[in-house]
Amino acid sequence: MLDKLSPQPADKILMLMQMFREDPREDKIDLGVGVYRNPEGVTPVMRAVKAAEQQVWETQTTKAYTGLAGDPAYAEALGKLILGTSVESERTSAIATPGGTGAIRQAMELIRMAAPEATVWVSQPTWPNHLSIIKFMKMPMAEYTYFDNATRQVDFDGMMADLEGVKAGDVVLLHGCCHNPTGANLTEEQWGKVADHLLAKGAIPLIDIAYQGFGDGLEADAAGTRLLASRMPQMLVAASCSKNFGIYRERAGLLIAISPDAKAQPTVQGNLNYLNRQNYSFPPDHGARLVMTILNDDKLTADWKAELEDMRTGMLALRKQLAEELRQRSNSDRFDFLAEHRGMFSRLGATPEQVEALRRDHGIYMVGDSRMNIAGLNAKTVPILAQAIVDAGV
């Protein structure tokens, strides 16, 4: 049996992590994997997370199983953070999942179970693991235009033209905020148009929201998701706490399903629980417990929000600095988009050869499609990157 296996293609983002580790150069710069780093290059355990861990350590009396959906207090607290008051709680079901990837995977499982013929529409480009999971699950998939390579902004006309092809019952995967890999995001007006369109088509949105709080703030980053939730009869939301709580390895995610009415909710919840049982029984609890401990404690929430806001504004300052350095060094405004993009990532628009040259000649690591993790920079490395970008002829 095992001798029948053939090698799998390496994940491009994770492969880069490995290459970076093996590079002996001391001045190398890692703009690869989407992990937040502070100016010292450290991915810190957030203060509120440390405090919550202490609280859990002191008060937790058992490690017995929770429920198949995880602790309902986690879904309630995180659901509120994401959806606010946009949808009646009687229509929502949710399961805790191992990270955002777990939520995406379970969303696909649910779609395949409920509507195996439904096509899942993904933005071109999107997070490579979306494509990989959908292909692995052999689900029908289509792509819609998203990014204008010339302006490095959303090609909204192209997107809407492609979404003309959506059929009733199809699923459209959208990034709630901080689009990965491009950094270019829909405006509120555009979210409204997307809602109109999906409603007219009878399509179902699946929102991947993995960076809430990294773009324009916790509330603003959820605005598109909330707008859709308030208008769509059905919708799925896959959320991650990896980045905004900095608990990457704890694997805390959530899949929310919004059903057309309260009557359908128990069956939807039952199916979600069933999917957890089939795939791993009980979802991991530790990260989820930290999140609910923070969100159910006003002081911890305030401290978490303050630290998250510092991270967000720090990334924004780096964006501005990089755009400014590039403006001076390139004598043009063609990199101004970097200050307009939001979240951890921007797609620079370099060719694969230029990306390779940046790595080979300067020890600067970014994903092959020229996605850069802005949080991999600090005030000292920004000018180095800017000069390297100009030298590479981007």
Q: Give yes or no for residue 176 binding ligand LMR (CB under 6 A).
A: no
Distance in Å, CB of 13 to ligand LMR, minimum: 4
Q: CA 187, CA 225: separation in Å to the nearest integer?
A: 12
Unique residue bearing structure tokens 């302006």: 151
CA distances from 328 to 10, 153, 223, 322, 390 (A): 38, 22, 35, 10, 10
| Six-digit token string for 289 | 């417990």
Q: Which is nearer to ligand LMR, 125 or 205 (CB)?
A: 125
Q: Where are the alpha helices (DSSP H) in 205-244?
A: 218-221, 223-231
Nearest residue to ligand LMR, scored by beta-carbon proximity: 34
| Six-digit token string for 90 | 């009687």
Contacting residue, 93, 119, 123, 180, with ligand LMR by CB under 6 A: 180
Q: Give yes or no for residue 34 binding ligand LMR (CB under 6 A).
A: yes
Distance in Å, CB of 252 to ligand LMR, minimum: 14
Q: Which is nearer to ligand LMR, 13 or 222 (CB)?
A: 13
Q: Give yes or no for residue 16 binding ligand LMR (CB under 6 A).
A: no
Q: Give yes or no for residue 103 binding ligand LMR (CB under 6 A).
A: no
Distance in Å, CB of 17 to ligand LMR, minimum: 9
Structural element, H or E, at residue 112: helix 99-114
Q: Give yes or no for residue 17 binding ligand LMR (CB under 6 A).
A: no
Contacting residue, 127, 146, 191, 365, with ligand LMR by CB under 6 A: 127
Distance in Å, CB of 8 to ligand LMR, minimum: 15
Backbone phi, then psi, for 69, in 5-degree steps? -85, 0
Q: Which is nearer to ligand LMR, 181 or 314 (CB)?
A: 181
Q: Which is nearer to ligand LMR, 283 or 343 (CB)?
A: 343
Q: CA 241, CA 192: separation in Å to the nearest integer?
A: 26
For strand 364-365 and strand 345-347, is the pairing parallel, antiparallel, or unpaired? Answer: unpaired
Contact (CB, 8 A) for 56 and 287? no
The residues binding ligand LMR (CB under 6 A) are 13, 33-34, 127, 129, 180
